[in-house]
Structure 1
Amino acid sequence: MRVSSHQYHQNIIRSINQGTTDYNRLSVQLATNQRIAKPSDDPLGSVMLLTLDGELSSIKQYQSNMNDVEYTLGQQETQLTGAVNILNSMQELTTTAADGSMGETEIAALGQQMNVLFPAIVDLLNAKDGDGRYYFSGSLTDVQPFQQDAAGQYQYLGDSNIREVSVSADSNVSSNVVGSDIDPGATFLNQMQTYLNLLTTDPANPSVGDESRTMMDGISSFLQRVTDQLTKVGAIRDSLESIKQGNDDIAVYTQGLRDDISQVDYAETYVKMNESVASYESTLKVYNRVSQLSLFSMI
């Protein structure tokens, strides 16, 4: 087949341009340590990178979710632990008030002490975070959970929504404790308030002993509910540690796969770049020689 001089020159120039392109591409790969700069460099590898990037992004979001849950539950645990400490003190005072040998003055003094402690429990149940959101009001974080109505009775104004948060590909955890699980219907708060009114306004009432024993049972029941919530919070926080470790292992493995696909094999790429340089120089030399030939060179 006859090859024209023009066609020959075009082929040589195309080969030189290709050598230049190959050299530039390999140089960029070595400089950036990235084997795939655009999808056409490796279509299958590009698709796999997108998939792996999506997985790494999800793991990052899971970690952010876990941090938020850990913070919220940690704060709620602190409030509930404080309530337990106060309740233990009130339990001791109520037990003392149940002693039939206590006189009117002593009963009144016990009532005064408990009237100082009781509001602290209410404050803990109405605790807020730094952004002013209430911890124990469920999804109604802008509503104070335990409030007194016009008659002075406590009521729970939050809801019972427990937020479920994704912390791994197949795991959700509860991210909050709700006031309706701590004191349903604000029963304990109202019971305690009624009891304290008795001690402070009518300490000589002969029913103080019986009411104190009833209140001891009320405190025990309330303590049990608070303790149950603390146990729940502790279990969730413990599980987060295990889930975090699992996510970290997956992230390391996924990042390793991504690096294997995207990063450059320096030795192999360096060899290819030298080969492209050698091919370019060889083609250029041949072209220079051929371009100087003419019919007169053959005479």
Structure 2
Amino acid sequence: MRISSHQFHLNSIQNIQKNTANFNEKSIQLATNKRILKPSDDPLGTVMLMNLGSEINSLEQYKTNINAVNFSLGQQEVQLTGIVNQIYSLQSLITTAADGSMGEAEIKALGQEMSIAFPAIVDLLNATDSDGKYYFSGSKTDEKPFQVDALGNYVYSGDDIVRDVAVSDDSRVLNNIIGNDLDPGAGFLNDMKDYLAVINNPPAGGVGNESRAMIDKLAGFLSTISGQVTTIGATMASLDSVIDSNLDITTFTVNLRDDLSAVDYPEAFISMNESMAAYEASMQVYSNISNLSLFSYI
């Protein structure tokens, strides 16, 4: 079979270009440790890498979400624990006030102490984060949850929307405590306000009955607040197991991605050297034959 000079030149150039391209490709793979440089190198592998990358990004977002939830719930727990401490202070003072032997001056002195502890509870219920957002207003984080209306009564001004956050593919957790769940309808705050009005101007017979009634209401409020603290603790504890699970998944996914994308160094190095050898051989043959003429055969 005769091969024309033109066809020989074309074939030689194609071989040289092919070997050059393969040499360059293997060089880049070895330099970057990436087996797939473009989708056509491995279409199926490219799709798998995209899916794995998306999964890793999701896991990173879950990690960020968990950190944010842990911090937010931790701060809310601090506020509620502070309320519990103030409740204990009020409980001691009100129990003392319930003693029928207390005189008017002594009762008023107790009232003054209660007038310090009670606003502290209101302040904690209206606590804000570092950005000035209220913890216990539901989704209305710019609205102070417990306010005093025109009649002088406390009202809840937030909403009942609980913000939940994704922490894994299958799990979401609550990120906030609703103020209306802490003191429904601001009932305790108004009862305490009314009680303080009595104790700061006690009747001649003392405030025994009012104090005993207030102790019961205080116990109910304490139970509610303590229950929410327990809920926060349980949620944060559950996040620890989610963190461990997500970490295991992340490690597996990253390793799988790296195994799929990483270069087989020995194979790539051998292929690169073979391409270089083939390139040099093609260039030598092309050069030798290109210099031939009819005079070479005379």
Q: For residue 115 of structure 2, what is the aligned residue in structure 1?
A: 115
Aligned mates of 2:155, 2:14 — CA distance in 1: 84
Aligned mates of 1:298, 1:55 — CA distance in 2: 68
Equivalent position SS for 2:93 = helix
Aligned mates of 1:298, 1:245 — CA distance in 2: 80
Equivalent position SS for 2:167 = strand
Q: For residue 271 of structure 2, what is the aligned residue in structure 1?
A: 272
Superposition pairs for residues 65-214 of structure 1, below 5 Å? 65-202=65-202, 204-206=203-205, 208-214=207-213
Alignment length (residue pairs): 298
Deviation at 1:279, TM superposition (A): 1.1
Q: For residue 246 of structure 2, what is the aligned residue in structure 1?
A: 247
Equivalent position SS for 2:188 = helix
Instruction: Output one character per residue of 1:163-213: Cα deviation in whole Å (capped at 9) or x when no partner.
Output: 1111100000001001011000000000011111101022x4426101111
Aligned mates of 1:68, 1:266 — CA distance in 2: 42
Q: For residue 288 of structure 1, what is the aligned residue in structure 2?
A: 287
Deviation at 1:65, TM superposition (A): 1.3
* Farther off after superposition, 13-22 or 65-74: 65-74
Instruction: Output one character per residue of 1:140-160: Cα deviation in whole Å (capped at 9) or x when no partner.
Output: 101100001111100101011
Deviation at 1:115, TM superposition (A): 0.5
Aligned mates of 1:256, 1:286 — CA distance in 2: 46
Deviation at 1:282, TM superposition (A): 1.5
Give the ranges of 4+ consecutive aligned residues of structure 1 lying more than 2 Å apart after TM superposition.
204-207, 292-299
Matched to 1:157, the amino acid is S
Q: Tell me the TM-score normalized by structure 1.
A: 0.97
* Farther off after superposition, 32-41 or 175-184: 32-41
Aligned mates of 2:225, 2:43 — CA distance in 1: 57
Matched to 1:181, the amino acid is D
Contact 2:103 2:206 in 1 (8 A): no
| TM-align CA RMSD | 1.1
Aligned mates of 2:162, 2:227 — CA distance in 1: 15
Instruction: Output one character per residue of 1:198-234: Cα deviation in whole Å (capped at 9) or x when no partner.
Output: 01022x4426101111111111100000011001111
Instruction: Output one character per residue of 1:97-135: Cα deviation in whole Å (capped at 9) or x when no partner.
Output: 111222222111111100111000000000111111100
Equivalent position SS for 2:31 = helix
Overall identity of the aligned pairs, in % = 56
Q: For residue 234 of structure 1, what is the aligned residue in structure 2?
A: 233
Contact 2:35 2:261 in 1 (8 A): yes
Equivalent position SS for 2:165 = strand
Aligned mates of 2:85, 2:253 — CA distance in 1: 46
Superposition pairs for residues 29-40 of structure 1, below 5 Å? 29-40=29-40
Asked if 1:27 corresponds to 2:27, the answer is yes
Matched to 2:211, the amino acid is S
Aligned mates of 1:93, 1:71 — CA distance in 2: 34
* Farther off after superposition, 235-244 or 178-187: 235-244
Asked if 1:260 corresponds to 2:241, the answer is no
Equivalent position SS for 1:165 = strand
Matched to 2:199, the amino acid is L
Aligned mates of 2:256, 2:11 — CA distance in 1: 40
Matched to 1:248, the amino acid is L
Matched to 2:219, the amino acid is S
Aligned mates of 1:196, 1:265 — CA distance in 2: 79
Aligned mates of 1:144, 1:223 — CA distance in 2: 22
